[in-house]
Structure 1
Amino acid sequence: MTIDLNADLGEGFGRWTLTDDDALLSVVTSANIACGFHAGDPSTMRRVCELAAERGVRIGAQVSYRDLAGFGRRAMDVPPDELADEVAYQIGALQAFARGAGARVAYVKPHGALYNRTVHDEEQAEAVVRGVGLAAPGLPVLGLPGSRLHEAAGRAELPVVAEAFADRAYTPHGTLVPRREPDAVVHDPEAVVRRSVTIARDGEVTARTGDRIRLRARSLCVHGDTSGAADLARRVRTALRAAGVRVEAFA
């Protein structure tokens, strides 16, 4: 049993910081680095890429709608051609800093509203995949199992990586409970740890309704903007190892 542990990093801007990048990069195996559209700026991107490269953590481009004020979590309607260009732009920017650190961008993951939109919206999903093709053909796409994003990536012959969330509530259909609804985020650390082990070892998760749903994932996300995220990620990693699950970046 093997699983990747990822977190969203570099989510600051200028003098404002949110994620504890240094601490999280000592725990996770993959780093979803903000590319400037929902958070992040050039200096932050460079610094996090350098830290990730030093510690052997895989670098991923976390692409978003252009929404700094809303942290990329507001629903937006972006024309597909424009969205493809903006996705390519973000990947290219991060790629420059990754190469400067002696590494490379190894995968792409949408953020926030774009992530959720591409679960069901085929047009937006295809635009993201076109953006990946423009910037870096062949990059794996990290996303929700069964999403339109993964279907579009498969048609474009891009590798897909199924992702699960340790600290987000699920619907009985295997999708994430929208953040605007109550109990969309799991705050109890013990519950997050238990869910992580169940996802990795048993391939299932308990939905908010109490239903057990199948969830085969190769990567597990612990949100970097959660309070005490680094400590929580350490507890998750320790529990996974104790359960016989090897924690390493996906191939």
Structure 2
Amino acid sequence: MSSIDLNADLGEGFGAWRLGDDDALLDVVTSANVACGFHAGDPSTMYRVCRLAAEKGVAVGAQVGYRDLAGFGRRRIDYDRNELRDDILYQIGALEAFCKAAGDRVRYVKPHGALYNTAAVDVVQSSAVIDAVLAYDAALPVLCQPGSVLAARAVEAGLSVVGEGFADRGYLADGRLVPRNQPDAIVHDVDEVVTRVVRMAVDGEVIAVDGTVTPCPVRSICVHGDTPGAVDLARAVRAGLAAHLAVQPF
């Protein structure tokens, strides 16, 4: 692999509330996962981020989540498959409107938070994500965890899948992320984060919290924009990746 994508979750404010520094991160990342109003985000925020991303040549993806503003989409919800499909379809279409107004389009779809984690292991919710993408545009790639149920079923459905690694998240030996409420869920040391992402991007593997070398074939690295020092961390990650690979949208 000669290139790697660097993505971040952006547009996650709501009304007067701001989360993260979208402007600064758009100078660093190559893809922006824009919240579509269900777990975070509002129309004005979505439009603003889409305009800035278009100006800076950053690819925009629909960051789709549960209808859960109060919980920031980090609480699992047991949905009817068709209802979840429709909620996801709604979110993609809403973001597409703002992308179109900004002179661009939605380039991919990425589940957020609890939906991301649930679709990675759950047939019903992964199928709802796939159903929504197929209904909207089967050419849209799905950005998700490599080796997950969502990745496997998306490939079976004929969709393009982009494997994603997380710069600052701990991994279990089976390739899943350490739950946020457990120790070692977040990696704080910048040098360790950079070493980990380079290993993921170049060698397709990551060291799990128990020391296991775990396969992690990725084409995109996610840096979280809502953690302290996120912009500086993102810059360090990009510099580390750029020493080995071209950093560009997938």
TM-score, normalising length from structure 1?
A: 0.97
Deviation string for 1:194-213 (max 9, x for gaps)?
Answer: 11111112221110001111
Q: How does 1:12-161 map to 2 (within 5 A)?
A: 12-161=13-162
Work out the CA distance in 1 between the residues paired with 2:212 and 2:43.
43
AA in 1 matched with 2:246: R
Contact 1:38 1:65 in 2 (8 A): yes
Aligned residues: 249
Deviation string for 1:72-92 (max 9, x for gaps)?
Answer: 001111111100000000000
Q: 2:246 maps to which residue?
A: 246
Q: By how many angstroms is 1:150 displaced?
A: 1.3
Contact 1:2 1:247 in 2 (8 A): yes
Contact 1:138 1:157 in 2 (8 A): no
AA in 2 matched with 1:188: D
Question: Partner of 1:120: helix, strand, or coil?
Answer: coil
Pair 1:221-2:232 in alignment: no
Work out the CA distance in 2 between the residues paired with 1:91 and 1:136.
10
Question: Partner of 1:149: helix, strand, or coil?
Answer: helix
CA RMSD of aligned residues (A): 0.9
Q: By how many angstroms is 1:136 displaced?
A: 2.5
Work out the CA distance in 1 between the residues paired with 2:200 and 2:246.
13
Question: Partner of 2:99: helix, strand, or coil?
Answer: helix
Deviation string for 1:25-45 (max 9, x for gaps)?
Answer: 000000000000110000000
AA in 2 matched with 1:144: Q
Contact 1:50 1:101 in 2 (8 A): yes
Work out the CA distance in 1 between the residues paired with 2:137 and 2:60.
14
Deviation string for 1:162-207 (max 9, x for gaps)?
Answer: 1111110000001111111112111122211111111112221110
Q: By how many angstroms is 1:158 displaced?
A: 1.1
Q: In percent, how many aligned pairs have the same letter?
A: 61
Question: Partner of 1:18: helix, strand, or coil?
Answer: coil
Q: By how many angstroms is 1:135 displaced?
A: 2.4
TM-score, normalising length from structure 2?
A: 0.97
Question: Partner of 2:61: helix, strand, or coil?
Answer: strand
Work out the CA distance in 1 between the residues paired with 2:37 and 2:102.
18
Q: By how many angstroms is 1:137 displaced?
A: 2.8
Question: Partner of 1:181: helix, strand, or coil?
Answer: coil
Contact 1:89 1:135 in 2 (8 A): no
Q: How does 1:191-206 map to 2 (within 5 A)?
A: 191-206=192-207
Work out the CA distance in 2 between the residues paired with 1:49 and 1:120.
31
Work out the CA distance in 1 between the residues paired with 2:62 and 2:17.
20
AA in 1 matched with 2:14: F
AA in 2 matched with 1:152: R
Structure 1: gaps spanning 5 or more residues = none
AA in 1 matched with 2:102: A
Work out the CA distance in 1 between the residues paired with 2:166 and 2:55.
26
Deviation string for 1:125-155 (max 9, x for gaps)?
Answer: 0011111122233210000011111122112
Q: By how many angstroms is 1:229 displaced?
A: 1.1
Contact 1:7 1:222 in 2 (8 A): yes
Q: How does 1:159-178 map to 2 (within 5 A)?
A: 159-178=160-179
Work out the CA distance in 2 between the residues paired with 1:87 and 1:41.
15
Q: By how many angstroms is 1:10 displaced?
A: 0.3
